[in-house]
Amino acid sequence: MPPVFDAVVIGAGAAGLFCAGIAGQRGLTVLLLDHSPKVAEKVRISGGGRCNFTNRDAGPAHFLSENPRFARSALARYSAADFIALVQRHRIPFHEKHKGQLFCDDSSQQVIDLLLRECDAGGVVRRQPCAVGEVRPSDRGFEVDTAAGPVRAAQVVVATGGLPVPAIGATDFGLRLARRFGHAVVEPRPALVPLTFDAAAWAPFAGLAGVALPVHIRAGDRPAPTFDEDLLFTHRGLSGPGVLQASSHWRAGQPLDIDLLAGRPLADELLADKAAGARRQLGNRLAQVLPQRLAEQWLAAHDLEAHKPVAELRDRDIARLAEGLRRWQPRPSGTEGWKKAEVMAGGVDTRELSSQSLESRRVPGLHFIGEVVDVTGWLGGYNFQWAWASAAACGRALRTYSVAGL
Ligand code: FDA
């Protein structure tokens, strides 16, 4: 007879580890499987090695989904404050960096250790590296083929994450399994990802690689939010936190909407300088507002004389300069793809999942949690908060089955 568990969790990343620990501590027998030699590789590399493990202000407005209300229940029942309390119980020192983003002071390994201790406290059986094969419905549960032999379980939790960074173990296992069981999948696309441009279109800007500045940026159809973050020029296009945020809303063919002045009233300032008879050259004046290389490149590309004193500018040139910077609408040709994306937008369609338990409405006992689900967070700790919240909702809802009854 194959071994029998109350639940098999497939994928020992952020969501799978957290869910397994919660269910184990409730007294369920849990088997946690991962095909990678190491658990939680994305936690390890996250936040530049310090894991931005949540965001103090995380709420439903910080997530994208075809079904925007779906995440509300899980996020409300397991909040950022709950995970912060857990981090404090494990005595992990942390700090707030920017806009509610919480990072470990020392290393993301501390979050992995927290997750493993929670699993140990729940008596979770872990197997990795252990390839997972077919998942078949059986009389009162499921049979799962694994490299270590078949197992049986009353419930299966799919926590195999999204498609970004295949080099550290990302696969489409969860999406394929969902489709095989009749679930719709919202077309996956790279998100929180640098945007690229045709080489010819980008040639005038390629020399600006490394230049960064604060901007207001928006992409996608309204009511997509405007982000107030930094933009970074790269050799192939645009990156930086503002562009990563906007990329999640961007669709192929659309232009970006960028205010390179970040709200600064440049036209008013230049008109006031002109009225005061300012002899300062336009190039030098603009370099007070923008990084110097960008200021020089912009004036050259727009036929404006960098050496002209501000007092001699025509009002219409001032207006043209300020308006051009305020409404820059470059049109990306693509993204840097799965290699560079931080997260997957799209995934298992939530309209056939319970928002209370993350259980399939089609296949009782089958659950999907974490990034494999069509819920995508903004940059800034929101994706881990979704991993914790969806894992908690599922881990608390899994049922103890009489093993003998299977
Ligand atoms: P996760 O990817 O963590 O785990 C999935 C697990 O399933 C992996 O262990 C994988 O090996 C396993 N698996 C996959 N296919 C399998 C198969 N066929 N069989 C068996 N096992 C399989 N978010 C955030 O909030 N703050 C941050 O600081 C960062 N930083 C960051 C940096 C980088 C570079 C990336 C790529 C991503 C981030 N993220 C982030 C996003 C965050 O890492 C991500 O959203 C969560 O890890 C998702 O958790 P999951 O458990 O759903 O998937």
Distance 88 CA to ligand 1 centre (A): 23
Report which ligand 1 atom has the smallest distance to the Cα of 55. 25
pLDDT at 50: 98
Q: Does residue 406 register a pLDDT over 70?
A: no
Give residue 181's pLDDT band: very low, low, confident or very high (50, 70, 90). Answer: very high
Q: Does residue 220 register a pLDDT over 90?
A: no
Distance 167 CA to ligand 1 centre (A): 12
Distance 40 CA to ligand 1 centre (A): 7
pLDDT digits (tens, 9 = 90+) for 145-167: 999 999 999 999 999 999 999 99
Which of helix, strand or coil describes residue 188? strand
Best residue for ligand 1 mutational test, from 110, 145, 239, 342 (most atoms within 8 Å of Cβ): 342
Best residue for ligand 1 mutational test, from 42, 50, 371 (most atoms within 8 Å of Cβ): 42
E-state strands within 59-161? 63-64, 94-96, 101-104, 125-127, 132-138, 141-146, 151-158
Ligand 1, atom 30: nearest CA belongs to which residue? 46
- Residue 336: other Cβ atoms inside 10 A: 17
Mean pLDDT of the chain: 96
pLDDT digits (tens, 9 = 90+) for 293-320: 999 999 999 999 999 999 999 999 999 9
Question: How far is residue 18 from each of residues 124, 136, 332, measured CA to CA in Å?
Answer: 11, 24, 38
Q: Are 368 and 348 in contact, with CB atoms under 8 Å apart?
A: yes
Q: Does residue 404 register a pLDDT over 50?
A: no
Residue whose tokens read 């009002």: 315
Ligand 1 shell residues, CB under 6 Å: 10-16, 33-36, 41-42, 45-47, 51-52, 132, 159-161, 164-165, 169, 171, 173, 342-343, 370-371, 381-384, 387
Report which ligand 1 atom has the smallest distance to the Cα of 39. 9
Residue whose tokens read 């857990």: 86
pTM of the model: 0.97
Distance 262 CA to ligand 1 centre (A): 33
Best residue for ligand 1 mutational test, from 45, 98, 116, 160 (most atoms within 8 Å of Cβ): 160
Distance 159 CA to ligand 1 centre (A): 9
Is the N-terminal amide bond of 223 cis, ω within 30° of 0? yes
Q: Does residue 275 register a pLDDT over 80?
A: yes
Give residue 224's pLDDT band: very low, low, confident or very high (50, 70, 90). Answer: confident
